[in-house]
Structure 1
Amino acid sequence: MIVWLNGTHGAGKTTTSALVQSLLPHSRVFDAEKVGETLMDITPGLPETDNFQHWPPWRPLVVETARHILDYTGGTLVIPMTVLIEDYWREISAGLAHHAIPVRHFVIHADQETLRARIDADAVLGPSPFRLKYLESYAEAARTWLREEGEFIDTTHRTPEQAARQIADAVNS
């Protein structure tokens, strides 16, 4: 199965995914961003974009990579990846469903003030204009389609450990 951790930048997906992995036996983290990085390395290059998710090959490559990893390893893949465009999520989830791969879709959520503070205080990436520019599109997705598609885990006043435990308990129930 796949445990997909969605949400905007700064919500805590990466931190939470490692903790979820430690709580779910036979699980491993698959960072779908690596698929985007592979596409970015193609030269002379793909069409100019501000986000590799806009390249049509990214979505089916994520599906196929996840499928092949699961076929090889079994168990559970924990995928921390922001997907804020509903059509992109539908394409990915339909592709996984086509291969009969069950998906638990969690949205790691925090209020806008908390997200800004986390992004500004990030010790690894530092304040990031790229990450900040997605706050509004996240807010819109969270108000609309994400509410129907994902299980919200509000991390505004919750530690990553508490969020991971809530996700692991939900998956195991």
Structure 2
Amino acid sequence: MIVWLNGAFGAGKSTAAQELLDLLPGSTLYDPELVGRGLKEMLPAKRLDDVEDYQDLPSWRRLVVDAAAALLTEVPGPLITPMTLLRQEYRDEIFGALAARRIPVRHMLLHAEETILRERIALRDEPVLEQSLQPLQDGSVPEEPVRERSLAHLEPYQQALDWIRGDAHVIDTSDLGPRQTAERIAEAVRTGGGACDIVQTPEPTAETLAAGVLLFDEEDRVLLVDPTYKPGWEFPGGVVEPGEPPARAGVREVAEELDIRLPTMPRLLVLDWEAPVPPGFGGLRLLFDGGRLPDEQIRDLLLPGSELRDWRFVTEDEAESMLPPVRWNRLRWALRARAQGRPLYLEAGVPVG
């Protein structure tokens, strides 16, 4: 298990984490910031210049999960992880990958009002300086005062509060000391607080076969869904189970995700061979035409909290800004196949034959 302590700088994450080690037997402190510091040392300055924060590095997000899984083979757990996490798509990626490895997460938000946070930051001693990601022209890395960086995070924290409050168990630390905060966290862990009920999708170990279903409204806009367990928008669908016909897999996934029962088997639009790009294994991706949904069925769409956060009907142009390039390209050709009334075979997103 991972007990993830989220919150702004000044909320008391680090001090509470130290106290929590005494209250949760077998617990170990796991600080993902150490992963970030290591990447700063190893990555070339040109790459670091592309990002403002090490959390923006895909390698950091992947290594946070890999290191946690490795640590849990060495210690009984839980891992206590004091780490500010303000971008929802990064939460999806990290927590979803942990769920795929069957590692449960308890998400705790340590919260205090902004005036209190500013007071705590102002009183903070600064003998230690943190390093910025941005290198200087001579290749060295400038030092940035902790206090300045902490204040700069207050506005993004306020903007992220809505989604974090809806996801985490909230503990108000305004009038609590580190020990009291740790006791509240420990009690929440014992009673199941902060449990992230994310669908546990196993990470692939070889090529996979996946089936997606395109559903349309009366204006021929296509339905996209926002999974909780990975970043970015997606089509309804999923991995085809062993021995399962792909079209039936698409129908099953639509029923499980959206509670929509398609009356007939959907028509194939695109079969796309996705090249293996490490760490991914690639495989075959099929998109089917699920047809138009009547208005009354759209009004009754259900979203299981463990799988989907949101849904939206969008135009092709709108989808381009929402989907990763590989998915948008697949959608683009699927829409043309639908218009032409014939399926298309793609290899790495390019029509063949």
User: Deviations for 1:120-149, whole angstroms, at most 9, x for unmatched residues?
Assistant: 11124576111101101101111x210111
- Residues 98-113 of structure 1: matches in 2 within 5 Å? 98-113=100-115
Runs of 5+ consecutive residues of structure 2 not aligned to the other structure: 129-144, 192-353
Amino acid at match of 1:154: D
Q: Which residue of 2 aligns with 1:26?
A: 26
User: Deviations for 1:70-121, whole angstroms, at most 9, x for unmatched residues?
Assistant: 0121221000000100000110000100000111000111100010111111
Q: Which has the higher strand share?
A: 2
Amino acid at match of 2:81: I
Matched, 1:165 2:166: no
Matched, 1:147 2:165: yes
Cα drift, residue 163 of structure 1: 1.0
Q: Which moved more, 1:85-94 or 1:36-45?
A: 36-45
SS in structure 1 of the partner of residue 165 of structure 2:
helix
Judge conservation of contact 1:17–1:78 (CA < 8 Å) in 2. Answer: yes
Judge conservation of contact 1:120–1:127 (CA < 8 Å) in 2. Answer: no
Distance in 2 of aligned mates of 1:120 and 1:38:
29
Matched, 1:54 2:56: yes
Judge conservation of contact 1:17–1:29 (CA < 8 Å) in 2. Answer: yes
Q: Which moved more, 1:146-155 or 1:120-129?
A: 120-129
Q: Which residue of 1 aligns with 2:336?
A: none
Amino acid at match of 1:16: A
Judge conservation of contact 1:39–1:58 (CA < 8 Å) in 2. Answer: yes
Cα drift, residue 154 of structure 1: 0.6
Distance in 2 of aligned mates of 1:137 and 1:33:
18
Distance in 1 of aligned mates of 2:176 and 2:27:
23
Q: Which has the higher contact order (CA 8 A, sep 6+)?
A: 1
Amino acid at match of 1:139: Q
Q: CA RMSD in A?
A: 1.3
Q: 1:170–1:122: structure 2 CA closer, same or farther, 3 Å change rule? A: same
Q: Which moved more, 1:45-54 or 1:105-114?
A: 45-54
- Residues 71-90 of structure 1: matches in 2 within 5 Å? 71-90=73-92
Amino acid at match of 2:109: V
Distance in 1 of aligned mates of 2:184 and 2:20:
9
Calculate the TM-score normalised by the size of structure 1.
0.95
Aligned length, in residue pairs: 172
Q: Which residue of 1 aligns with 2:289?
A: none
Q: Which moved more, 1:103-112 or 1:125-134?
A: 125-134
Which structure would you say has the larger Rg?
2
Amino acid at match of 1:99: R
Q: Which residue of 1 aligns with 2:39?
A: 39
Calculate the TM-score normalised by the size of structure 2.
0.47
